[in-house]
Amino acid sequence: MDQTVRVWKYKEGSDKLSGDLKPTLELLGHKGGIESMDVHTPSSRILTASNTGEIGLWTTSASAAPDAPESALLQANPAKKRKVSVSSGVQKGALSMMQIHSGPASAVVFHPEDSTAAYSAGQDHTIRTIDLTTSKVVHSLTTAHPLLSLCSVQGISTPLLAAGTSARHITLVDPRVSATTTSVMTLRGHRNFVTSLSASPMDNYSLVSGSHDGTCRIWDLRSVRTGSKAEGGGSVSEAVYIIERESQKGQKKKSDIPGQGCKVFGVAWDKQWGIVSGGEDKQVQINKGSDLLAK
C-alpha cells in the first residue's frame, strides 16, 4: 500500500531455524497500491500490478536499474531529499511502467517459457498479453467478470491461464491468439472472491485456489462434470479437495458471510513444503499437497 517494492537479502543461520534479513533495494515509481507481483530469477526481473491499472517491470540489479523518479523520491522521503535510505537500501526506478488496464490490475505473471512476455489480469474483465521488450499489449481476452488472480497452468494438451473472479469461480482460458474459444473450463465451488491461485509443481493438471470464503481448494483439470457447460463455453469442474482453516475448527460460526474472519489472502503450492496459505486469521497454514490428493 506504500507503492514500493523492497528486495531483501536473506542469510540462513547455522542452526537452520533462524536467519538474517538485510534490505538491499527499494523500487519506486507506482502511483497506487501494488496488488500482485511475479519474479523471474534467471533474468533478475520483477513484474508488479497496481490498482491504477499499471504494470511495472523492474530489475533486481541496482547497477542496471534507472534512477527513481524525483516525485517518487520526495513521496518516499518527504523530510530528506536523498537517494539512499539506510533502512530500505538503494532506491531505484522501473525499467518500464505500462498503463495496461482501464481499471485496477489485479495480477501479473511472466510467460512460463519466455521472460520477454507476460500476462496480466484486471478488474476491467480482461487478460492482456504483454510484449515486455516493446511495453505493448499484443493480445487481449475479455471475460464476463472482474478478475482478481491469475496463474499459468501447463494443462493437459496446451498451456492455459487460470483466472480467479469476483463471481466466485475460476475461468481457464487459452491465451493463444489462434484460440477459437475464450473459456476452456470453469471451476466452481468457492462461495466468495477467488483471490489467489497456484499451479501444482508435481503435474500439469492440478492447481490450488485461495478464497475469501476461508478455504483453499484443489482442482484436477481431468475431472469434468458430465453434461455441464460454462457460460463462456467449455466444460465445468468441481474441487477434488477442500482445505479449511485450522484456526476455525471447533469455533461457532460468527457470520452468514462465507469466510468472515478467516479469509485466505494468498496461497502457494511448493514441491517441498506443500500448500502454504496465509489468511485473515493471522496464521500461515501448511498442508501437504501430495497427501491431500491421495485422499
For 274-292, how does the pLDDT look when each residue is reduced to its tens digit (9 = 90+)?
Answer: 999 999 999 999 999 666 6
Domain stops at, among 101, 134, 155: 101
* Predicted local distance difference test score (pLDDT) of residue 86: 43
Cell of 250: 471447533
- In angstroms, the CA 61 to CA 285 distance is 33
Whether 273 and 181 share a structural domain: yes
Cβ proximity of 54 and 40 under 8 Å: no
pLDDT value for 232: 59
CA 44/CA 115 separation, integer angstroms:
10
Task: Please report the pLDDT score of residue 79 as a whole number.
Answer: 56
Residue 64 in domain: yes
pTM reported for the whole predicted model:
0.88
For the record, the C-alpha cell of 27 comes out as 523500487
For the chain, what is the largest distance between any 2 Cα atoms, rounded to a whole number of angstroms?
65
Are 154 and 88 members of one domain?
no
Q: Are residues 42 and 156 in the same domain?
A: no
The verdict on 45 and 184 lying in the same domain is no
- Read off the pLDDT of residues 144-201 as tens digits, 9 standing for 90 and up: 999 999 999 998 878 999 999 999 999 999 998 776 567 889 999 999 999 999 999 9
Tell me: do 46 and 149 sit in the same domain.
Answer: no
| Cα 10 to the center of its chain, rounded Å | 22
Structural domains of the chain, count: 2
Q: Are residues 97 and 165 both part of a single domain?
A: no
The pLDDT score that the predictor gives to residue 252 is: 76
pLDDT of residue 72: 81
CA distance 118 to 19: 33
DSSP-derived letter for residue 67 is B
**263 contacts 191 by C-beta, under 8 angstroms:** no
Structural domain of residue 58, as residue ranges?
1-101
Question: Integer distance in angstroms from the first to the last C-alpha of the chain?
Answer: 40
Give me 183's grid cell: 473459456
pLDDT value of residue 81:
47
The x, y and z cell numbers of residue 95, run together, are: 525499467
Question: For position 172, which CATH number holds?
Answer: 2.130.10.10
How many angstroms separate the CA atoms of 277 and 209, rounded? Answer: 10
SS3 assignment, position 261:
coil
Task: Encode the chain (295 residues) as per-residue pLDDT tens digits.
Answer: 999 999 999 999 888 888 999 999 999 999 999 999 999 999 999 999 999 999 999 999 999 999 999 888 877 666 554 444 445 679 999 999 999 999 999 999 999 999 999 999 999 999 999 999 999 999 999 999 999 999 999 988 789 999 999 999 999 999 987 765 678 899 999 999 999 999 999 999 999 999 999 999 999 999 887 656 666 567 899 999 999 999 998 887 767 788 888 999 999 999 999 999 999 999 999 999 666 665 5
Q: Is residue 46 domain-resident?
A: yes
| Shared-domain flag, residues 93 and 165 | no
Indicate the pairing of strand 206-211 with strand 183-188: unpaired
- The answer to whether residue 220 sits within a structural domain is yes
Same domain, 151 and 290: yes
